[in-house]
A and B are shown apart, each in its own frame.
Chain A
Amino acid sequence: MRSSAIAARLVGDEMMVMSTADSTFFTLSEIATLIWQAADGHTPLSEIVRRKICSEFEVAPEEALRDAEQFVADLSDHGILRVSTHPIREHTTDTA
């Protein structure tokens, strides 16, 4: 799920994201933004990829999931996303 320790805003088709903990600044591509926005703490990554990516872009599900897992791991390393094998119940906001 999305961390609450970030600032984020959509600028055109890219998401600007800054960690409030260490001021690291990122931009997310259109696809990465879709995954990030859908990370609600409940929906599994495989389901997000199927619903948001495979339905919109011409990409094989296995390849899309592999790329998504790498992307999620990168964001998790910077504290932008929290990864869990179980649903996370914490409240999040959808505004960005």
Chain B
Amino acid sequence: MSLLAEMNQKALRLGIPISVHLDVTYRCNERCVHCYLDHDDHGEMTTAEIRDLLAQLADAGVFFLTLSGGEVFMRRDFLEVVAEARKLLFNVKVKTNGVMIGEEEARQMRHLGAEQIQISVYSHRPEIHDAITKLPGSLKKTIAAIKFLKLQGLKVTIANVLMTSNVADNRGVIELAKELGVGYSVDPTITPKMDGERSILDLGISGTNLHEVFRDRTLIDNVDEFCAPPPVPGEEVMEGYPCSAGHTACYISPYGDMYPCVQFPLPCGNVRKQRFVEIWRDSSQLKQVRSIRAKDLHVCSSCAHVGTCTRCPGLAYMEGNMRGPSTADCEKSFQRTGIPTANMMNRQRTSGLVQIQASF
């Protein structure tokens, strides 16, 4: 076990929220077709409120702090927020589209000691990338930002969300990342909008595309191992937790609302009304999330994939049941291994039934 994994285990035992994702704004200069956010400002936390929150997070033991949005640089005080976070010795990761990062912003980020910058790039071709962001010239500005950040010696990763409109350019983005000397990560998951609206899920890639991504040797170190059939789950798996959400990690919105994770919109409290640590410790919703073991999962506990599935409890929650399956992750498990999930087989069985419509 790595040192980092050991510390995560220790944080879990001690009930310490070691990772917090804080969205400082939902405002954005791009209008990405797949974005799940409402970009209007409904009353963001002020600089003073964020400073106070950061001090509370430090006191609670938070080490990894992800600052994201919206576009973080839409806040004029963003570098002030980073400075405060670094003064409090957080490990700071910033997620941005890079459009507003020039030489000076890159220099400041280096000076302040941000550990990692993640930048969204959807294609190496402007006509594809800019069509997704709906901001003409955005790819050019984003690439310029990556170069400025690299010149400062910062660790930069390109994050690419795969959709039907850009999946053919995946290879091109990988080559772009190589050319720029930065890391690359790919995400094939489209998340429903925060209000529950699901039409953007139609933008997601097909099962065939997913199958190809999981067998891409430039992305996966050991494809044979990664795509192997799941081992029979032991007791340790069945007694285990689905993921870190609510256990060692949580999410805070620009309005101070606290959730188990950015993809898990179960309201747990608001840091404008309560101290962070009180919500973390006492929220009945977080306690409920923490009580769930793999053996408690409806359908999934009887699935062959239970020990290896990337099942997201937040996506399951958005489908109606945090203890239920997440269809997107069922599809991933199936495309990865070729073995249908328990959820898929249940659906197949019920789809053959005659539907009875109430006559009143």
Residues of A whose CB lies within 8 Å of any CB of B are 4-12, 14, 16, 18, 20, 23, 25-27, 93, 95-96
Contact = CB atoms under 8 A, between A and B. Distances in A.
24 contacts: A6-B113, A7-B90, A7-B92, A7-B115, A9-B58, A9-B61, A9-B63, A11-B18, A11-B63, A12-B14, A14-B10, A20-B91, A20-B113, A23-B115, A23-B116, A25-B4, A26-B3, A27-B3, A27-B6, A27-B7, A93-B88, A95-B87, A95-B88, A95-B89
Contacts of A23: 115-116, 155
B108 to A, nearest CB: 14
B121 to A, nearest CB: 22
Contacts of A96: 89
B99 interface: no
Interface of B: 3-4, 6-7, 10-11, 14, 16, 18, 58, 61-63, 86-92, 113-116, 155
4 interchain residue pairs of minimum CB distance: A7-B91, A9-B63, A20-B113, A8-B89
Contact of A9 (B4, B89, B116): B89
Contacts of B18: 9, 11
A12 B10 contact: yes
A8 to B, nearest CB: 5
A91 to B, nearest CB: 10
Contacts of B16: 11
B127 to A, nearest CB: 36
A6 B4 CA distance: 15
Nearest to B8: A11
Contacts of B14: 11-12
Contacts of A26: 3
B10 A6 contact: no
Given A8-B63, A20-B113, 19 more contacts: A7-B90, A7-B92, A7-B113, A9-B90, A11-B7, A11-B10, A11-B18, A11-B61, A14-B7, A16-B7, A16-B63, A18-B63, A20-B91, A23-B115, A23-B116, A26-B3, A27-B7, A93-B88, A95-B87
A18 B6 CA distance: 14
A95 B63 CA distance: 12
Nearest to A95: B88
B115 A18 contact: yes
A93 B89 contact: yes
A12 B114 CA distance: 25
Nearest to A20: B113
A8 B58 CA distance: 10
Tell which of A18, A20, A93 has the most Cβ of chain B within 10 Å.
Answer: A20
Contacts of A16: 7, 63
Contacts of B11: 11
A10 B92 CA distance: 16
A56 B155 CA distance: 41
Contacts of A12: 10, 14
A96 B61 CA distance: 8
A27 to B, nearest CB: 6
Nearest to B92: A7
Contact of A18 (B58, B88, B91): B91
Contacts of B58: 9, 95
Contacts of A4: 86, 113
